[in-house]
Amino acid sequence: MFYFAYGTDLDPTEFRARCPQSREIGVAALPDHRLHFPAYSERWSGGAVGLAVAHGHRVWGYVYQLDPQDLVALEREEVWFGEGDPRNRVERSTGMVELTRPDDGSIPRRLRVTLYAARPTQGEAPSAAWLEVAVRGARARTLPEEYLAELVATPVAGGATE
């Protein structure tokens, strides 16, 4: 399964700790979407990240290929129990991303991926801790400067940004 990582899952060290068997595929963009924070995350003490349809915008991220063991670990972390389970904290869907800098030596291409996004409950700005990890990951993955600037400017709970 191909997984589109964004937000804090961009940080290679954090992601590798959770999904050690994952295979890195490359940098990708999800067209016509933007980040938003429709729920509260106890782990981050602030908004949980989701995806909103937004014509003309892009969410940049990183694609991994997950083996079954890593998929179980990811779903446990994301709090996804299965299709239609009311305990799910996230929605699971598929989407098409544009793989722009594949690390597997192939040419750029469109790729169907699995996405997880926070289920809407009570929206809140993300915490400064969340933003720090997301920005660190975006820098590590050398995402486009304009996207990085947009991410850095994300308002956080308490009013401060990086």
Tell me: the pLDDT tens digits for 3-38? 999 999 999 998 999 999 999 998 999 999 999 898
Instruction: Give the confidence band of 104 by pLDDT, cuts at 50, 70, 90.
Output: low
Q: Which pLDDT does position 105 carry in this prediction?
A: 58
Stated as kind and residue range, the H or E segment containing 41 is strand 23-41
Q: Is residue 161 part of a domain?
A: no
Instruction: Give the confidence band of 103 by pLDDT, cuts at 50, 70, 90.
Output: low
Instruction: Give the confidence band of 162 by pLDDT, cuts at 50, 70, 90.
Output: very low
Q: How far is CA 10 from the centre of its chain?
A: 7
DSSP for residue 9: G
- The winner for highest mean pLDDT among 6-15, 99-108, 117-126, 150-159 is 6-15
The single residue of 78, 91, 98, 146 carrying the catalytic annotation is 78
The mean-pLDDT minimum among 29-38, 39-48, 91-100, 152-161 falls in 152-161
Q: Is residue 37 part of a domain?
A: yes
Q: Is residue 133 part of a domain?
A: yes
Instruction: Give the confidence band of 78 by pLDDT, cuts at 50, 70, 90.
Output: confident
Instruction: Give the confidence band of 108 by pLDDT, cuts at 50, 70, 90.
Output: low
Give the Cβ contact number of residue 54 at 10 Å. 14
Q: Is residue 98 part of a domain?
A: yes
Q: Which pLDDT does position 89 carry in this prediction?
A: 85
* Domain enclosing residue 116, as ranges: 2-153
Active site residue 78: yes
Q: Is residue 105 part of a domain?
A: yes
Instruction: Give the confidence band of 102 by pLDDT, cuts at 50, 70, 90.
Output: low
Q: Is residue 148 part of a domain?
A: yes
Examine the pLDDT at 65 and tell me if it is beyond 60: yes
Query: What domain count does the chain have?
Result: 1
Q: Is residue 162 part of a domain?
A: no
Full-model pTM: 0.86
Domain containing residue 128: CATH number: 3.10.490.10
Task: Give me 104's structure tokens.
Answer: 């597997």
Q: Is residue 9 part of a domain?
A: yes
Instruction: Give the confidence band of 143 by pLDDT, cuts at 50, 70, 90.
Output: very high
Alpha helices in the chain (DSSP H): 12-18, 68-78, 128-140, 145-152
